[in-house]
Amino acid sequence: MKLLVTGGAGFIGSNFVRYWLRDHPSDRIVNIDKLTYAGNRQNLEGVSPGHELVCEDIAEANLEEQMEGVEAVFHFAAESHVDRSIDSADVFVRTNVLGTQRLLEAARRRRIARFVLISTDEVYGALGDSGDFTEDAPFRPNSPYAATKAAADLLARSYFKTYQFPVIVTRACNNYGPYQHPEKMIPLMTTNALNGLPLPVYGEGAQVREWIHVEDHCRALEAVLRRGRPGEVYNLGSGYRSTNLELVQMILRLLDKPASLIRFVADRPGHDFRYALDSAKAHRELGWEPQIALEAGLEQTLRWYRDNHEWVRSARGDSYQQYYSQMYENREGYRQNL
Ligand SMILES: NC(=O)c1ccc[n+]([C@@H]2O[C@H](COP(=O)([O-])OP(=O)(O)OC[C@H]3O[C@@H](n4cnc5c(N)ncnc54)[C@H](O)[C@@H]3O)[C@@H](O)[C@H]2O)c1
């Protein structure tokens, strides 16, 4: 089979490329990735010859040409960092909305048999103390990132309703695992802890997130391709939920580092309080269940960041340092006890 993957040099996309070619070594994957700050060629080192990286922008590339002979598209490419979208939303609209529409249109013209859009639980907005989001919960995105993902998600719906184009949407909870950019919470906390640096926790760390190991997410995406129904949406959650503070404490415990590294810093504006997914539909219709428990998956992930010095060193290079210092070092609470 020949697949087209977008954003396959990023975190989830590169794990998916590795996952797919490991289990289907004779398949071919065309991977369109602009290699933004979040895309990294090193994420694809050692990947088999069945993979071809095309460095292009989905908002500009000749996508129909890239779809020659392709049977299925997995669309991961996005600007994905909420904090960056709060700073400047323009590129989020361009990539996440325009890029998705261009890809859907090219795939429709090419009559691609399946199009899987990787959406997010953030389209639903935030929950209070109780309840889970089902697939028919209303959209209430709160950040510019989430709003652009909601627009992409609705474009996918419209392509199914209007053109009967066979698109399937997945909405996953927070992912963790190897090859995640160190701006994101788990690699940021892990690499800071390994270097004895402060761990900036927003507010009181009371926000609740559901965490899925990226390998479980990749397995779910394969099940979506094989057994998902066109026009449907599937929540992909793990059931493992924790507050941000509990998660940071777990990281410190697993790395045997002191809790004194934690700094409570000024909260993110409009920070969603709680996300929780009802994933019963995916279990029932896809025959998929997550297999990796949070603590075991986290332990394996921390080991990966500890053992891959060269990857961490280059991912935490100059542009990361600049971002980090602008984002955290002058934030209220960061310099306490330093
Ligand atoms: N990480 C999570 O916890 C999570 C959870 C649910 C859904 N998602 C969704 O999964 C997808 C992948 O997330 P991720 O965490 O791997 O993101 P990431 O930021 O690590 O990777 C995004 C990739 O897209 C590429 N890209 C960005 N703009 C592009 C453009 N215009 N053209 C081509 N390539 C472009 C980047 O270079 C990068 O390789 C996103 O759509 C995201 O919204 C992520």
Compute the distance from residue 336 Cα to the ligand 1 centre, in Å: 34
pLDDT of residue 338: 58
> CATH code at 57?
3.40.50.720
Q: Determine the pLDDT at residue 330.
A: 84
Ligand 1 surroundings by CB, under 6 angstroms: 6-7, 9-13, 32-36, 38-39, 57-59, 76-80, 95, 99, 118, 120, 149, 172, 174-175, 181
Can you give the pLDDT at residue 337? 62
Q: What pLDDT score was predicted for residue 334? A: 87
Total domain count, the chain: 1
Q: What is the phi/psi pair of residue 206, to 5°?
A: -85, -10
Kindly state whether residue 260 falls inside one of the protein's structural domains. no
User: CB of 229 within 8 A of CB of 164?
Assistant: no
Q: What is the helix (H) or strand (E) element at residue 233, kind and residue range?
A: strand 233-236
Ligand 1 centroid, distance to 146 Cα (angstroms): 13
Instruction: State the DSSP string of 238-249.
Output: -S-EEEHHHHHH
Q: Is residue 264 part of a domain?
A: no
Cβ–Cβ < 8 Å for 148, 96: yes
- Residue-number span of the structural domain to which 80 is assigned: 2-176+214-236
CB 25 within 8 A of CB 52: no
Q: Could you tell me if 39 and 12 are in contact, meaning their C-beta atoms sit under 8 angstroms apart?
A: no
With a cut of 50, which residues of the chain have pLDDT below it?
none
Domain assignment present for 78: yes
Asked if the structure places residue 313 within a domain, the reply is no
- What's the CA-to-centroid distance between 76 and ligand 1, angstroms? 5
What is the identity of the amino acid at 188? L
User: Is 43 part of any domain?
Assistant: yes
What does the alpha-carbon distance between residue 104 and residue 156 come to, in Å, rounded to a whole number? 7
In single-letter form, the type of residue at position 316 comes to R
User: Which residues have CB under 8 Å from 223's CB, separation 6+?
Assistant: 282, 286, 287, 288
pTM of the model: 0.97
Q: Is residue 145 part of a domain?
A: yes
- Give distance in angstroms: CA of 5 to centre of ligand 1: 11
Instruction: Point out the residues that are catalytic.
Output: 121-122, 145
**Alpha carbons 269 and 267: distance in angstroms, whole number:** 6
Query: How does DSSP assign 2-25, residue by residue?
Result: EEEEESTTSHHHHHHHHHHHHH-T
What is the position in ligand 1's atom list of the atom closest to the CA of 39?
Answer: 39
If you take atom 8 of ligand 1, which residue's CA is the nearest one? 120
Write out the DSSP string of 55-105: ---TTTS-HHHHTTT--EEEE------HHHHHH--HHHIIIIIIIHHHHHH
Cα 265 from chain centroid (whole Å): 24
Residue nearest atom 1 of ligand 1, based on CA coordinates: 175
Q: Note whether residue 231 is domain-resident.
A: yes
pLDDT digits (tens, 9 = 90+) for 181-237: 999 999 999 999 999 999 999 999 999 999 999 999 999 999 999 999 999 999 999
In a domain, 183, yes or no: no
Which residue has the least CA distance to atom 5 on ligand 1?
Answer: 174
Let me know: does 127 contact 276? Beta carbons within 8 Å: yes
Query: Which of 12, 18, 15, 106 has its CA nearest to residue 58?
Result: 106
